[in-house]
Amino acid sequence: MRKDKIVMPSASARLQSALHALSQALEKRPDKNADTIEADLMAGRVPRYPPITMGLQIEPPAGDAPRGEPPPLQRLAEALEGAAAGLAMENPIRPCLPVGLGGVGFLATAFGAKLDSDNPAAATVVKEPLSPSELERCAEPDPLTGGLTPQVLQYIDLIKAATPEWLKLWLPDMQGPFNIAHQLMGSEIFLEIGDQPKRLHRFMQRITDHFIAVHRLLCERIGPARLHPSDNNRYRIAECSCNLVSTGVYEEFVLPYDLQICRHYGNRVAIHPCAGRHVTEETLRHLPVVRMEAGKVPCAVAGSFNMDEILPRLGGRKTVLLYMEDLLPGVEEQTARRYIEALQRHQTIEFYFGALHWRQPQKQSVVDLHRRLDDFYMACLGRSGDL
């Protein structure tokens, strides 16, 4: 049976038109270039444009199974087509593409773990944890060929060949040594702490060595002209799993490896503490933190810091704070304004506001609120010069 042929634009035609659209969008809205905002923050200044991002609740995907990765050129075209999507919410956008695969599971794959790719709710987490003795026997992963790295390297080469130099590349999600160990071992890791501390240290060292080798390799392959300058991209450690252990366990089993990574980074690190109070305090105390995330989270495993609590902990440091909070119904605007005024106390804050009641049907009212908050920010900036 004959079907009428539908002519679809080729991936490379889509790529060219998406590149053009992204450059036009950035030209038209210089105030929404996240890189300009971030350059001010990293230089220790109050940003010249509103450092505000707002998000709706993510709706569950329509289909029931993830469709898998498209061919690389199509993936690149789709990523570019989505690169300016945030503008519809009045959010800052970047001339930048992520190169990662496997999400939070990227580095775990080098140690033989399979990701739960067919599970739409957890496609980037390890499917079956491996036993500590299996992991001890696992051969040393090669940074060039281990896990998903070869595919990431190919994708980097493709982007560099197919796009102009103004488009920057964002590293994969490297997580952090303890998060990776926890992903690989599952809950066994908590038994290792008490029963096999030396074996756990050996494994943490192997993860750290691999982390540093892959980070170095990816940065070199992307090259200084194309690597995105953000601290949050180049120098990040995610400490989510540290919320499940005490301060003492962090200091004994995690800190030595975090410090090695910080040294490799050139003594700067952006920390994702996953809200936890003791994780925030410990990392601020021991590490050269240039960027910290915080925000009130009602049900956090190890608590969280609100704006009034986190600012004194940053003290006089120039640390950039990413402050995130779900705003409560009826007081969204006044709460957000109060937080924006905190820039008088700490100059380098960026904001991410969400709310549990902000869903697709509320989109226009959230966009309107975003515009009012941007106006408020610029009016404060105009009055004081630097808020």
Q: Which of residues 329-358 bind Zn ion (CB under 5 A)?
A: none
* Token representation of residue 167: 């488009």
The residue (of 293 and 332) whose beta carbon lies closer to Zn ion is 293
Ramachandran sector of residue 141 (left: φ over 0; alpha: ψ -120 to 50; beta: rest): beta
274 interacts with Zn ion by CB under 5 A = yes
180 interacts with Zn ion by CB under 5 A = no
Q: Which helix (H) or strand (E) holds 166?
A: none
- Report in angstroms how near the CB of residue 289 gets to Zn ion at its nearest: 16
Name residue 258's amino acid: D
297 interacts with Zn ion by CB under 5 A = no
Nearest Cα neighbor of 238 from 177, 314, 324, 282 is 177
Per-residue binding string, Zn ion, 91-110, x by CB under 5 A, is --------------------
The residue (of 292 and 342) whose beta carbon lies closer to Zn ion is 292
The dihedral over CA atoms of 135, 233, 256, 246, expressed in degrees to the nearest 10, equals -80
* Token representation of residue 351: 């904001």
Q: How far apart are CA 380 and CA 371, in angstroms?
A: 14
Q: Which of residues 218-247 bind Zn ion (CB under 5 A)?
A: 240
The residue (of 97 and 279) whose beta carbon lies closer to Zn ion is 279
Cβ–Cβ < 8 Å for 29, 21: no
- Report in angstroms how near the CB of residue 322 gets to Zn ion at its nearest: 13
Candidates 53-61, 228-236, 249-257, 268-276; binding stretch for Zn ion (CB under 5 A): 268-276
Angle between helices 188-195 and 177-185 (to 10 degrees): 110
- Other beta carbons less than 10 A from residue 14's beta carbon: 18
- Report in angstroms how near the CB of residue 37 gets to Zn ion at its nearest: 23
Size of the site for Zn ion (CB under 5 A): 2
Candidates 116-124, 273-281, 325-333, 343-351; binding stretch for Zn ion (CB under 5 A): 273-281
- Other beta carbons less than 10 A from residue 249's beta carbon: 17
Contact residues for Zn ion (CB under 5 A)? Answer: 240, 274
